Structure 1
Amino acid sequence: MLKSKFKWQLPKSDVSSDKIKEIMDACQLSEIAAKVLINRGYDTPEKATKFLTLDPEAIHDPFLLHDMQKAVDRIQSAIVKNEKIVVYGDYDADGVTSTTIMFETLNELGANVDYFVPDRFKDGYGPNMAEYQQFVENGVNLMVTVDNGIAGNEPIEYAVTHGMDVVVTDHHELPEKLPNATAIVHPRYPGAHYPFSDLSGVGVAFKVASALLDEVPEEFLDLVAIGTVGDLVSLTDENRFLVASGLKVLSEGQRVGLSALLKVSGLENRQINEQDIGFTLAPRLNAVGRIGNAGEAVELLTTFDDEKAELIAKHIDSVNDQRKQLVDMVYNEAILQAKSPENLARKTLVITGIGWHQGVLGIVASRLVEATGKPTLVLSGSETDTNLKGSGRSVEALNLFEALNTNRELYVNFGGHHMAVGLTIAKENVAALQTTLEEAATVADLDKNQVSPLPIDGVVKVDQITVPAIKDLAKLGPFGTDNPIPEFEIDSEKVTDVKQIGANQDHLKFQLAGVKQKIDAIDFKEGKLMPYLQALPEDVRVVGTLELNTWRNQTKPQIMIKDLLINAVPIVDKRTTRLSVKMFATQTTYVFFHKKSYEKVQTYLKPEVQVAVLEDQENFDLRLKGNLTLVDCPDSITKFADWLSKQSPDALTVYFYQQNNAYLDGMPTREQSAKVFKFFANHQDIDLKKQLPDVVKHLHIDQNMIVFLIQVFFELKFVKIESGRVSSIPNPKPQKLSVAPTYQLRKQQIETQEKLLYSKSATLTAWMQACLADKNKGVAE
């Protein structure tokens, strides 16, 4: 069967029809949306109504945050005294939006203020000692950090002892020792009890701005939405209201720089949603910090000049394109390492490269985890560097930070959390790092826990999916962390109209058929699955999200596929009489039953592809998994059926190439056998290399048949062959031709080729699936 990428987790219990109707009536929702609310714990009219009502009361009093009053007092004092203030930001989407809000707020209040966004490669994350020293020398009186600072003990201590005050506003994990700052504004400060602990960096900056301005500054809500969604914090409670409100402001296009960015991103003049932020806006703002200087992003967000905004937006868009190219380039090299025999045998991956761009290593690690299901570290440096630097991403079953933290002495620098880490390590310690990670995977029993869970909100029939139902689901948004977009298993009759789409044909499009309607479905990056869905259209199960697609003023439901499985092993019939290079371009295991067939196409095979040559009995006993392509035709149908019954493929593609067609040649007749035998008895010392064409012409028998009979006669000692010359043996022992191994092999080949090469496609696939299902019997019937 074609396995799912995730472990599907349906709701544990059925919801009563009375409960569903109660929520439907109270909230005026469709059945689908009502079920989602109930399964997520909003199971009373009161809870459901409160969740759906985006009430401004959700915004908590900013002065409930620790040290807010101290922060406001110090900032106001600096404004009154015209002291030099610097806003110290960060280089991701959360950091640049935080910087923009704090800078514009202080500017509006008449402060003598500037901002600084660190360079990822020169300054690193958070307070940088050299930069702080420079600010002290330049006479800065007050530093206000946004989206950083909580772990900046040393630089902040230096600042304070040299007369510069520091107000820290941050949301990251709290270290054991907190910095000696003038004020620390943090939603999870020990002993403080702010009602909502999951504000992003921009959320904290927004709170400070609200406290300073003595009102909720709605003009900043677009920035709050971008930073909050971009930083993947919880979209519940206060954040949900802030993002929902910010999406409205963002759609109105009030900010010149964001309007320019929306235009170059193809989002102009439309209602912006959280997915537009997560997949389009935030990645562009992040890209600047990944491969350039994120100060340019703040410049875009703060400008009032249309022409300047357009220029910066276009440049940011081009930087994002550059980022994509860098990711693709590094990923293409990294995946080759991931598929080496050594790495295929490992539970985890440590991938290293020379000259890979540091800013994209985390993205590449994420893609490798998605492709392989393995916790992955991607490291790079120059030829002359003694150290490698990089990022790691993990799966739910392995806490990557804890796994690597057991050998902390290996690293020059190290930090992170459950799912992601960053580190610098000496090249000589990479082998030890690999061992540490692999041992942690063994302890975590990663083989059993490797498949990540996928919570599913319920099963929906194709005929239940309507435009009004999808609009009702949208009312549960904005979606994100802790309020994920609803995922459904789609109950369909079958899939139809399966095709590959996209410039490189790498995406999959098909329709899910119900009784009354068909709905389009899109599965990105899975175009390679097309033949498998076509092979078993009634055995496909899918999980996906429900969306609306508007084309030429017509709005229809559409399903975006998250995962799929096929309940039987798909067998793709590509039987051929010719092998070409393009037939060996797929990432699969190519299986050869004859070494000669493998040698014939060896130059077609890329170094990274997996190959199994089963000619030897030892290799014939191999148990193979994954996607298999059977290149040539085996000799024995009985042995092949037995072999097939012991395999566990996800999918099978069959070429069954056969150079010598025994089925079409057939077995020799008695007359042919006697004629050839008589000829060699009467003609001694025939040089086959030179005289075979003349023999064929004389006997009027096909050349292949003559060569076959010569081999049979040789095995029965009717003739001898020396240096290509055939001579008869006087008075040979009488034997039946059928006892010769070559004769027996030809009979097996004819039976096998009849079954595998000349049966109808449906008959072949049904027989092979029966063999695969028959784990005990494993014989041909």
Structure 2
Amino acid sequence: MRDDKYKWIEPKELPATHVKELSTSLGLNPTLIKVLLNRGLDNEQSIKNFIEDDQEAIHDPFLLHDMQKAIDRIQSAIENGESILVYGDYDADGVTSTAVMYETLEQLGANIEYFVPDRFKDGYGPNMDEYQRFIDAGVQLIITVDNGVSGFNEIELANQNNVDVIITDHHELPDKLPNALAVVHPRYPQAEYPFYDLSGVGVAFKVAQALLEELPTDLLDLYAIGTIGDLVSLTDENRQLVKWGLKQLQETQRIGLAKLMEVAGLNQAKVDEQDIGFGIAPRLNAVGRIENATKSVELLLTFDEDEAGKLAEDIDGINKKRQGLVQDIYSEAEKIALDEDHKNRETLVVVGHNWHQGVLGIVASRLVELTNKPTLVLSDSEMSADFKGSGRSVPDLNLFNALNQAPNIFENFGGHHMAVGLTIAKNNLKSLEEVLEKGAKEADISYKNKAELKVDAEINASDISLDLIASLKKMGPFGTDNQQPFFELKHIELKNVKAIGQDSSHLKFALPNADGQQIDAIAFKRGELADQYANATDVSLVGTLSENEWRGNVKPQIMVKDLKTSGIAIIDQRTNNFNVNLFQNQYVYVFFHEKLLEVTQKNIPNRELVFYKDLEDNEDINTFAIVDCPESMEDLESVLGQVHPNSIVLYFFHQTDFYAAGMPTRQEFGHVFSFLKQNNNFEKAKLGTVSKTLNIPNEKFNFILNVFFELNFVKIDNGLLKIEPVTDKVELSSAPIYQRRKRLIKVQEQLLYSNSNELTQLITPYLGE
């Protein structure tokens, strides 16, 4: 069975001698060497450069386009005491960019203030009303951070009022750039900067580096947060600066960040890139999604411990509110994404009413993960009839380029390869759907094609250790374009399989290593596989390695990205409780008893219910369920041998437990016969009381009577039971009903009283190829 969601790209085979030589000469774990070789670092020097701190990775800030022009103008403004405005953005990258630029200019003695636009009032990027407000207030120089390249009209307004604008940005450049005094951008056409993937805070940091004429190490913590939070490439300069930034964050003097880590439950001394990605950045982002993000900038800049504590608590509360909004909106959006109108589209435009527009990007990300489709999530509001929202993409579609083919349909639009933000009138929604579908067609993508998952190395469970995990950390910090290594483990047997979490949505299991120890593994959002994998003995998985610390105990664990099992999965759900809940899924339900099938058909419509003799060989069955217990192993074998499902669910419902009841003893047969002989011509209507008189269970008593009837020991005449004379000796076991019960006892012993492992071993040989 294949439950894998990804197309696994296997690692290339490496010469063992080469791996051993590099491992010995560099003093590095051989598994780490395999990973680095598979990532293209094919010699000793390149591996050294990657593992060790590389000062040469830090590029000259003056290689950025217009940097000298920007620095000259800023220095002039500082010297002349001009009023300078830092115009920021409301996400984690934007607020850290604002803090970096503000702190740097304040340190240089500038007459400085900052402004973070309100997502709901001002929208993304330059805003005409806000520009006018600051121009009227006497601002003489505006420096944008993490925005600006889409502000054509606003910057024209500034120029007309003799206010200079310096743009520092990293977003996709439009065809026509604003007429700013300087555009500092790593991707500016024909520019000489050697690294394109700076974040907004990265560009602001390079301005700070140029102004201060040294690397501003006290700003590296902000660099790390903004860069990781914006999911830009963690290679080249970014990787080195974030590496240093994590060390700075572990010792940060920013009381606000320290308080935020505290409320997030993070250990500051051990904070890493995952803590930023899942703990710090989401909280900073949440403020701009729900309220005005100025609160986040205040947190980063404050030196007041009481204020820092209050701000951190407020931000944590806002984040919890954000999480609730996301869940509520996602529940609605998911239904739309999977409905008949959308399920066969290559892309999704999901439209809601009065959804909180600050969290639509998160919802879009989750829908991409669910459907493998580029997705836009939009909503109108009581404040505006226009639809605002966000989009997220898949790697093979540049979402910005795809939508930028029709720029005139947007009221506002910006973004990059993987994410966009937009505002659009209701009458253009249909055009938006068409443009996005066209972009997917031109990029030749299909949601049916599994995304690729590149495996870095194949390992065994015995290779996994805390020492290996410590070695792998030398590759960090991990993130976009420098992912944690993915390891494949093949042909493993799972232990202690169970669904965990409040809603049982996650899968947890263990696998033994060579030392007899067990390594825990967790697969998020795969809890539905718990029954299916409970007895799996041949599983392959791909995952990352991490440490799990519990009460001072540190153990290695596997975070499973994807998994699959060979053969057909056998899911043990045996029951003696027959109810409608057994028929909730779109299975093929197989019955061995026609009467039970007929009753079920009357009460359970819209399900495929089949009598076992009518079952046809069908290779398209995904899952079929055996509802009731067969009367012979041969009947079961005939069913299992002709179907080819991915999985089999075994209910084996039975009305009578013949194995538990057993076969009546000869003494019990004798008691019944003696009673009938002593009470010849006994009224049939009174038989119900006889089993109690003889202290024989009613089911057994009726069975004994049926044996006597089949052997012609008794007959019914005018409602009276009469003993028939027996001339020849007849064995009780010769009765057909006796043989049937004997067979059922054996079948039920095997199918109902075996444990799950024994049942799997029993069933497997019957399965068709």
Fold conserved between structures, TM > 0.5: yes
Equivalent residue of 1:120, what SS? coil
Aligned residue type for 1:529: L
Correspondences of 1:159-308 after superposition (within 5 Å): 159-308=158-307
Match of 1:655 among 632, 648, 651: 651
State the identity as a percent: 50
Aligned residue type for 2:650: V
Separation of aligned partners in 2, 1:30 and 1:616: 56
Q: Please tell me whether the aligned partners of residues 2 and 569 of structure 1 are also in contact (alpha carbons under 8 angstroms).
A: no
Q: Please tell me whether the aligned partners of residues 617 and 643 of structure 2 are also in contact (alpha carbons under 8 angstroms).
A: no
Q: Please tell me whether the aligned partners of residues 171 and 188 of structure 1 are also in contact (alpha carbons under 8 angstroms).
A: yes
For 2:389, the equivalent position in structure 1 comes to 390
Separation of aligned partners in 1, 2:375 and 2:746: 45
For 1:57, the equivalent position in structure 2 comes to 56
Instruction: Please report how far the alpha carbon of residue 591 of structure 1 lies from its aligned counterpart in structure 2 after TM superposition.
Output: 4.5
Separation of aligned partners in 1, 2:631 and 2:414: 58
Aligned residue type for 1:652: I
Aligned residue type for 1:486: P
Instruction: Please report how far the alpha carbon of residue 582 of structure 1 lies from its aligned counterpart in structure 2 after TM superposition.
Output: 6.6
Correspondences of 1:233-632 after superposition (within 5 Å): 233-340=232-339, 343-382=342-381, 386-401=385-400, 413-427=412-426, 430=429, 450-491=449-490, 493-516=492-515, 517-536=517-536, 538-579=537-578, 589=587, 591=589, 594=597, 596-597=599-600, 600=603, 611-613=607-609
Aligned residue type for 1:547: S
For 1:677, the equivalent position in structure 2 comes to none
Separation of aligned partners in 2, 1:617 and 1:352: 49
Closer, same or farther: CA 236–276 of 1 in aligned 2, 3 Å:
same
Separation of aligned partners in 2, 1:629 and 1:96: 55
Q: Please tell me whether the aligned partners of residues 346 and 447 of structure 2 are also in contact (alpha carbons under 8 angstroms).
A: no
Aligned residue type for 1:43: D
Separation of aligned partners in 2, 1:759 and 1:342: 48
Most deviating of 326-335 and 100-109? 326-335
For 2:710, the equivalent position in structure 1 comes to none
Please give the per-residue CA displacement for 1:584-618, whole angstroms capped at 9, x wherever unaligned: 78x7658476474266467xxxxxxx954558999
Please give the per-residue CA displacement for 1:518-538, whole angstroms capped at 9, x wherever unaligned: 2122222323322222121x2
Closer, same or farther: CA 56–74 of 1 in aligned 2, 3 Å:
same
For 1:724, the equivalent position in structure 2 comes to none
For 1:70, the equivalent position in structure 2 comes to 69
For 2:10, the equivalent position in structure 1 comes to 10
Please give the per-residue CA displacement for 1:747-766, whole angstroms capped at 9, x wherever unaligned: 9x999997996585667656
Equivalent residue of 1:167, what SS? strand
Instruction: Please report how far the alpha carbon of residue 373 of structure 1 lies from its aligned counterpart in structure 2 after TM superposition.
Output: 3.1
Equivalent residue of 1:368, what SS? helix
For 1:690, the equivalent position in structure 2 comes to none
Gap runs ≥5 in structure 2? 592-596, 663-683, 692-697, 707-736
Q: Please tell me whether the aligned partners of residues 225 and 243 of structure 1 are also in contact (alpha carbons under 8 angstroms).
A: yes
Please give the per-residue CA displacement for 1:669-716, whole angstroms capped at 9, x wherever unaligned: xxxxxxxxxxxxxxxxxxxxxxxx95986999999x99xx9xxxxxxx
Q: Please tell me whether the aligned partners of residues 202 and 227 of structure 1 are also in contact (alpha carbons under 8 angstroms).
A: yes
Separation of aligned partners in 2, 1:411 and 1:652: 51
Please give the per-residue CA displacement for 1:24-59, whole angstroms capped at 9, x wherever unaligned: 133210111111111111111111111112133322
Most deviating of 335-344 and 588-597? 588-597
Q: Please tell me whether the aligned partners of residues 633 and 756 of structure 1 are also in contact (alpha carbons under 8 angstroms).
A: no
Correspondences of 1:734-745 after superposition (within 5 Å): none
Q: Please tell me whether the aligned partners of residues 236 and 483 of structure 1 are also in contact (alpha carbons under 8 angstroms).
A: yes
Q: Please tell me whether the aligned partners of residues 398 and 416 of structure 2 are also in contact (alpha carbons under 8 angstroms).
A: yes
Aligned residue type for 1:128: N
Aligned residue type for 2:525: K
Separation of aligned partners in 2, 1:663 and 1:426: 70
Correspondences of 1:678-697 after superposition (within 5 Å): none
Q: Please tell me whether the aligned partners of residues 634 and 752 of structure 1 are also in contact (alpha carbons under 8 angstroms).
A: no
Closer, same or farther: CA 438–18 of 1 in aligned 2, 3 Å:
same
Please give the per-residue CA displacement for 1:500-532, whole angstroms capped at 9, x wherever unaligned: 333443332221112224212222232332222
Equivalent residue of 2:172, what SS? coil
Separation of aligned partners in 1, 2:73 and 2:448: 51
Separation of aligned partners in 2, 1:122 and 1:759: 67
Equivalent residue of 2:318, what SS? helix
Q: Please tell me whether the aligned partners of residues 259 and 268 of structure 1 are also in contact (alpha carbons under 8 angstroms).
A: no
For 1:678, the equivalent position in structure 2 comes to none
Equivalent residue of 2:201, what SS? helix
Closer, same or farther: CA 442–142 of 1 in aligned 2, 3 Å:
closer
Aligned residue type for 1:474: K
Separation of aligned partners in 1, 2:375 and 2:590: 32
Equivalent residue of 2:475, what SS? coil
Separation of aligned partners in 2, 1:481 and 1:335: 26
Instruction: Please report how far the alpha carbon of residue 195 of structure 1 lies from its aligned counterpart in structure 2 after TM superposition.
Output: 2.2
Separation of aligned partners in 1, 2:125 and 2:318: 23
Q: Please tell me whether the aligned partners of residues 456 and 488 of structure 1 are also in contact (alpha carbons under 8 angstroms).
A: yes
Q: Under a length normalisation based on structure 2, what TM-score does the superposition of the two structures give?
A: 0.81
Instruction: Please report how far the alpha carbon of residue 319 of structure 1 lies from its aligned counterpart in structure 2 after TM superposition.
Output: 0.9
Separation of aligned partners in 2, 1:317 and 1:9: 40
Aligned residue type for 1:303: T
Aligned residue type for 1:328: Q
Q: Please tell me whether the aligned partners of residues 142 and 166 of structure 2 are also in contact (alpha carbons under 8 angstroms).
A: yes
Equivalent residue of 2:299, what SS? helix
Aligned residue type for 2:600: S
Aligned residue type for 2:531: P
Q: Under a length normalisation based on structure 1, what TM-score does the superposition of the two structures give?
A: 0.80
For 1:728, the equivalent position in structure 2 comes to none
Separation of aligned partners in 2, 1:108 and 1:83: 15
Closer, same or farther: CA 68–435 of 1 in aligned 2, 3 Å:
closer
Instruction: Please report how far the alpha carbon of residue 179 of structure 1 lies from its aligned counterpart in structure 2 after TM superposition.
Output: 1.3
Separation of aligned partners in 1, 2:289 and 2:283: 10
Equivalent residue of 2:477, what SS? coil
Separation of aligned partners in 2, 1:478 and 1:116: 31
Closer, same or farther: CA 590–367 of 1 in aligned 2, 3 Å:
farther
Aligned residue type for 2:36: L
Closer, same or farther: CA 376–636 of 1 in aligned 2, 3 Å:
farther
Please give the per-residue CA displacement for 1:130-189, whole angstroms capped at 9, x wherever unaligned: 211222222211000001112211111111111110001111112222211111111122
Closer, same or farther: CA 344–660 of 1 in aligned 2, 3 Å:
farther
Gap runs ≥5 in structure 1? 603-609, 667-692, 710-742, 775-781
Q: Please tell me whether the aligned partners of residues 575 and 757 of structure 1 are also in contact (alpha carbons under 8 angstroms).
A: no
For 1:712, the equivalent position in structure 2 comes to none
Q: Please tell me whether the aligned partners of residues 2 and 570 of structure 1 are also in contact (alpha carbons under 8 angstroms).
A: no
Aligned residue type for 1:119: D
Instruction: Please report how far the alpha carbon of residue 292 of structure 1 lies from its aligned counterpart in structure 2 after TM superposition.
Output: 1.3
Equivalent residue of 2:143, what SS? strand
Instruction: Please report how far the alpha carbon of residue 270 of structure 1 lies from its aligned counterpart in structure 2 after TM superposition.
Output: 2.5
Instruction: Please report how far the alpha carbon of residue 383 of structure 1 lies from its aligned counterpart in structure 2 after TM superposition.
Output: 8.0
Instruction: Please report how far the alpha carbon of residue 434 of structure 1 lies from its aligned counterpart in structure 2 after TM superposition.
Output: 5.2
Closer, same or farther: CA 285–698 of 1 in aligned 2, 3 Å:
closer
Closer, same or farther: CA 662–282 of 1 in aligned 2, 3 Å:
same
Q: Please tell me whether the aligned partners of residues 372 and 447 of structure 2 are also in contact (alpha carbons under 8 angstroms).
A: no
Equivalent residue of 1:192, what SS? coil
Equivalent residue of 1:475, what SS? helix
Closer, same or farther: CA 590–508 of 1 in aligned 2, 3 Å:
same
Over aligned residues, Cα RMSD in angstroms? 4.0
Separation of aligned partners in 2, 1:448 and 1:547: 31
Separation of aligned partners in 1, 2:349 and 2:641: 36
Equivalent residue of 1:60, what SS? coil
Equivalent residue of 1:95, what SS? helix
